[in-house]
Structure 1
Amino acid sequence: MNVLSWNIRGISSAMPLLFHCCSTYRSSFLGILEPKTHFSGILSSYWRSFNFSPVHQNDRGRRSSNIWFFADHSLSPDVLFSSDQVVVIRCVIMGIDTTLAFTHASCNYIERRQLWLDIKPFIAGSFLMIGDFNSILGAHGRRGRRVPASTPCSEFHTFIENHDLIQPESSGPFFTWTDRRRFPSPIESILDRVLFSQNFSDIWFFSSILVLPRLGSDHSSIMLRCQDTASAPVCRRFRFLNMWCSHEDFLDQVRASWNIPIDSLCPLVRVMKKLKRLRSVLKAWNRDTFGNYNIALVELQQDLGSLQEGIDAHGYTSDFFDQEVALQAWIGTILMHKSDHLRQQSRISWLSDDDRNTRFFHSMVKWRRSDQSIKKLSIDGVILEDTDTMTAHVVDFYETLFSEPVSGLVDRSWISNYIPGSVSSAHSALLTAPSSAEDIRLVAFSMDRDSALGPDGFNEAFFQHS
């Protein structure tokens, strides 16, 4: 699902640019803000040329509409609410019920208070809000001669915080609006943005938010590109989970696998092969011991509910009490494992170990996965976006890189003749001396246990605990 919003500041002179933008960035939904003309003045064939059907134009009485909303002709959205500052629609996309709000907020922060009240009933489930908010969150959102007023910034921040909305990072220009004044007195601000609910983030795999260069308007157009989690790419590479260390059988599993001899004379080869074998052992052990903690939580909560219903009907007995305590303890253990797992994936190290902000960790995991994904490649000026084409090019590039003939290497040993000898013989001997077992142990145990995984999938927590 792609969503495009643009405060066009007059569509009559920007129709070629809009056609180019919509043709280049195929979208499911389009929101045009401040068209400054009557909708009937645009031929319907213009919208059909890029497969859009008009859905709604808000009614502002004698003033012309300032929000035009369009959808792909294959979709059938329903308008839930319309006002001077926002149009809210609901649409089923790929079987997912999603609420979208296109906003053109008032420049007056007193009037924007009504917008925050109007949108409140619709912030539930899979919710997305996009457009020109005409408000910033603080001094970092503006550059220029004017200092932003604190009250509008505070009210906008409160609106976002009270409804647990997420502000994803974007690529492209940092500021989305400028007053177009000449240097040295221009003002630039982040007025156009995307907000969505936690549920939206859970359902749709966030791909990218692209802020396009300003053309024909003092506002940048903003594009949200995302896909549902069912079709999102999933990495199956082995990853050591820190929560395994807390299980009483973990060291026995590691010891049993490690003690099986490997037929090799090279110590490094033996370690590599033992780690490779241990990966398979830990995968099978994790599947049998921990399983899917989300499914386990649902089943245990159902069992606990049934047990407590039996207690309500028959009263407490010794067996009921022991079963309830055991179920509650097991649910608590699984919640702790889930929190540890998400904390490790999010790579957040500045919260204390006692915090269990699972929702926050879950959001950070999604953002990290999105940031680490490759959306497009530029090859000799040609933009590649197809996944199969990009994969084939990357494989071909590295196969060529690592298969170059040795004769192609350049002898650079002459460089050493021009480097002064500032290290004494004693220091040189110390630096080149083989590392002792104690040196290696000190380095390994001084590293962050949640540091990045190695190519084999193991982190420092494994080596420190084992």
Structure 2
Amino acid sequence: MTMFSEFIDSHFLVDLPLERAAFTWSNGWDPVTFSRLDRFLISGAWEEHFPDVSQAVLVKVTSDHVPLVLDCGGLSSRRTPFRFENMWLRSEDFQGKFLKTELKRWNKEVFGNLEWKKNRVFADIAKLNRLDEVGQNGESLHSKRASCQAVFAEIALMEEISWRQKSRALWLKDGDRNTKFFHRLANTHRRCNHIGRIRVNGSELWREDEVRGGIVSFYQQLYTETLGWRPTLDGLPFNYISALDSDRIEIPFMEEEVLKALSSCNEDKALGPDGFTIRFLKESWEVVRA
């Protein structure tokens, strides 16, 4: 298995986790033997093109091998939660946009799709290269090339910031550049967080709506209070704090304390479910505090 892992690493392949089962082969004898002999190995380029790719087992009928299916991911009808993108802060048009609805509209209509922008810059550079080949290389051409290169560098930096934020690689310093590494790390997090099946009250749920409903039902029952006898604490001794310490607990936080606490947090993280990151709060502190 070690040699196999070394082979995968040396060829820069990705061994996808297997869903719905742990093994793909059994001998069918007594005693029974299980093993995982079958798998899909994908390249980094494939994973970049299909970030939601996964492999799962089908029903075994006659063969001693379990059929595998490679799912490249489909279109989801679910609403994705809002997540503030730290790369937005590099845009000159960002200032003053602090509402989720306004940010979503601005991202779609003004900021735009980075991949489309990058492809457009590639096309402009290719056009300039063709003009270079036929000898049309004047001062204006050099100026346009420098402008295109500057735009491309800014887009590449924004992509780096976005994928670094998605990768949650907190041990890296801001400015470290390795987009492919960030991309693969983010995809790994996405696969690990995906719940393909769940067992509720002895029954396995597979469909997306069933899994979602099973999770909601479990926690509803877990946090539903049932009426009954409760123990009392009368007569039990407890430690207590002094009146001075009690008063200090209720002292309002100073703005300097809040800002210092925020500054010590990782900038790619969000404090709550609203999706706004620490970097947004630090960059827009004067507006937030108002």
TM-score by length of 1: 0.50
Measured in 2, the distance between the counterparts of 1:350 and 1:239 equals 21
Alignment of 1:407-422 (within 5 A): 408=227, 414-415=232-233, 418=236, 420-422=238-240
Q: Does 1:423 align with 2:238?
A: no
Q: Number of residues paired by the alignment? A: 267
Which amino acid in 1 is paired with 2:12?
D
Residue 205 of structure 1 corresponds to 52
Structure with greater proportional strand content: 1
Q: How far 1:293 sits from its partner (Å)?
A: 0.9
Which amino acid in 1 is paired with 2:50?
I
Q: Does 1:333 align with 2:180?
A: no
Measured in 1, the distance between the counterparts of 2:234 and 2:176 equals 53
Which amino acid in 1 is paired with 2:202?
G
Counterpart secondary structure, 1:383: strand
Match of 2:74 among 230, 236, 250: 230
Which amino acid in 2 is paired with 1:205?
D
- Asked if 1 retains the 8 angstrom alpha-carbon contact of 2:55 and 2:71, the reply is no
RMSD value over aligned CA atoms? Answer: 3.6
Residues 1:421 and 1:453: Cα distance change in structure 2 (over 3 Å): closer
Q: Does 1:451 align with 2:272?
A: no
Which amino acid in 1 is paired with 2:239?
G
Match of 2:140 among 312, 319, 334: 319
Q: How far 1:341 sits from its partner (Å)?
A: 0.5
- CA deviation map 1:52-76 (0-9, x unaligned): xxxxxxxxxxxxxxxxxxxxxxxxx
Q: How far 1:380 sits from its partner (Å)?
A: 1.1
Q: How far 1:234 sits from its partner (Å)?
A: 6.4
Residue 243 of structure 1 corresponds to 87
Residue 295 of structure 1 corresponds to 116
Measured in 1, the distance between the counterparts of 2:78 and 2:68 equals 21
Q: How far 1:335 sits from its partner (Å)?
A: 0.9
Q: How far 1:437 sits from its partner (Å)?
A: 2.5
Residue 164 of structure 1 corresponds to 12
Which amino acid in 2 is paired with 1:160?
I
Counterpart secondary structure, 1:423: coil
Q: Which runs of 5+ in 1 are unaligned?
A: 1-134, 137-152, 177-188, 211-216, 255-277
- Asked if 2 retains the 8 angstrom alpha-carbon contact of 1:206 and 1:367, the reply is no
Residue 213 of structure 2 corresponds to 392
Which amino acid in 2 is paired with 1:301?
F
Counterpart secondary structure, 2:173: coil
- Asked if 2 retains the 8 angstrom alpha-carbon contact of 1:242 and 1:461, the reply is yes
TM-score by length of 2: 0.76
- Asked if 2 retains the 8 angstrom alpha-carbon contact of 1:193 and 1:222, the reply is no
Q: Which runs of 5+ in 2 are unaligned?
A: 26-34, 58-63, 285-290
Q: How far 1:370 sits from its partner (Å)?
A: 1.4
More RCO (CA 8 Å, sep 6+) = 2
Measured in 2, the distance between the counterparts of 1:238 and 1:373 equals 18
- Asked if 1 retains the 8 angstrom alpha-carbon contact of 2:14 and 2:41, the reply is yes
Q: Which has the higher Rg, Structure 1 or Structure 2?
A: 1
- Asked if 2 retains the 8 angstrom alpha-carbon contact of 1:450 and 1:461, the reply is yes
Q: How far 1:378 sits from its partner (Å)?
A: 1.2
Residue 102 of structure 2 corresponds to 281
Match of 2:257 among 433, 439, 455: 439
